[in-house]
Amino acid sequence: MKILLTGIDGYCGWPLALALSKKFKNSKIIGVDNLSRRRWVKFSKSDSAIPIKNMSSRLSKARKFGFKNISFLKGDLTNLKFTENLFKRYKFDIVFHLAAQPSAPYANANLKGARFTMINNNSSTLNIIWSIKKFGKKNLKFVNTSTTGVYGQPNFKIPEGFIKAVNNNKSDTIPFANLGGSWYHITKSNDLNNLHLANRMWNLKVIDMRTAIVYGTETDETKIHSHLNTRFDFDFNFGVVINRFCAMSAINHDITIYGKGLLKRPFISLKDFVTSMVNLVKYKQKKSFEVFNQTTELLGIKKMGLTISKHASKLGSRSKIIMIKNPRTEKEKHKMQMENRNFLRLLKSKPKYFSDESKIMIKSLNPYKQIIKKYKKSFI
């Protein structure tokens, strides 16, 4: 079996590569990345709190620990020639498409960021889709990582991807509305539309993972050796809220909450993200286009900050909660509800919950306080 993993150098991509390698030792895992995440975070005047090695060092150490079936190709998927040659050379059985510019703040900062995000994200996905049509195996499975952010903030329970629409007493099932709050989220909505069209026109088998906010510092594979670490960003642009709060508490920095902190958001641990993605390899699709809401729990932002502050205080942290004006355009209060029964069946194992995982995160960040302090201005 040949597996393509785009975005292998990323926060989620590298742990997924290791887990796939461990589970499917006789398979060939081809990781592709242009290493841009490292540049983007530097541009944000920050760095990964947990030091990471270059890809050559990572792979060399991985092989010594039995992860011998991973190879890496540096390349840009917005380059059609590169992408076509990739599918011409390897007859992939499954594609995990994680590569993207994933930051909403970065995309919303200015026209340059919005334009780059739109071109980068949508061009790469389109190039892959058309390369599959031209050179791909007939029954190739395409797993796309999207985001729960495409749903926006509706006033009803969010279904897993599709909704029944009724007009003049007639109904049909259609993809759920795209109501994301950033140009990054719009790119993911565009990807959905493009993939749904490819499914209808060419019968491309698609699984769209609407990924919640992923948090965590490690997985079973990354903690084997420091050379196998995955990155951990904590800056305003690329650090997700739980990761930022844990980094703040690690250095006694006040935990800054936007607005009133009454919003609820969907979350998933890095460990559960990886487990569910690995399970997709052997998953037998019920339909040629399926959507999963890849989330395990909904958390209120203020309550989450208070929990982290409480856990950190037991390790000597003196972080306090402070409220600041919300720089984002969103409802101050939204009681989010989200369907995830299908996803929990896919996960199979008991979810890892924030209350436990945040304790692990705070402890594991302790050795890297100096790095966090060096770039603390990037928090806000």
Q: Which of 343, 1, 320 is nearest to 159 (CA)?
A: 343
Residues in the chain: 380
Largest CA distance in the chain: 64
Distance CA 206, CA 161 (A): 12
All domains of the chain, ordered by start, with CATH? 2-217+267-297+332-352 (3.40.50.720)
In this structure, the number of other CB atoms found within 10 A of the CB of residue 47 comes to 21
User: What values do phi and psi take at 178, rounded to 5?
Assistant: -100, 105
Query: Residue-wise pLDDT tens for the chain (380 aa)?
Result: 999 999 999 999 999 999 999 999 999 999 999 999 999 999 999 999 999 999 999 999 999 999 999 999 999 999 999 999 999 999 999 999 999 999 999 999 999 999 999 999 999 999 999 999 999 999 999 999 999 999 988 888 999 988 888 999 999 988 887 788 899 999 999 999 999 999 999 999 999 999 999 999 999 999 999 999 999 999 999 999 999 999 999 999 999 998 888 888 999 999 999 999 999 999 999 999 999 999 999 999 999 999 999 999 998 999 999 988 877 666 667 778 999 999 999 999 999 999 999 999 999 999 999 999 999 999 98
Q: Locate 139 and state its tokens.
A: 């029954």
At 346 the pLDDT is 98
Q: Which residues are the active-site residues? A: 147, 184, 188
* Residue recorded with tokens 């090695």: 53
Taking the C-alpha atoms of residue 248 and residue 105, their distance in angstroms, rounded to an integer, is 19
Q: What is the DSSP string of 226-294?
A: GGGPPP---STTT--HHHHHHHHHHTT--EEEETTS--EEEEEEHHHHHHHHHHTTT---SSSEEEEEE
User: What letter represents residue 212's amino acid?
Assistant: A
pLDDT recorded at residue 329: 66
Report the candidate in 28, 19, 38, 62 with the shortest Cα–Cα distance to residue 228: 62
For the beta sheet containing 213-215, the strands, ordered from the edge strand earlier in sequence to the opposite edge, are 213-215, 264-269, 297-300
Q: Which residue has the tokens 């919950």?
A: 353
- Bridge partner residues of 71 (DSSP): 30
DSSP string, 169-193: TEEEEEEPP---SSHHHHHHHHHHH
Report helix, strand or coil for 144.
Answer: strand
Exposure string over 8-26, b if 16+ CB within 10 A, otherwise e: bbbbbbbbbbbbbbeebee
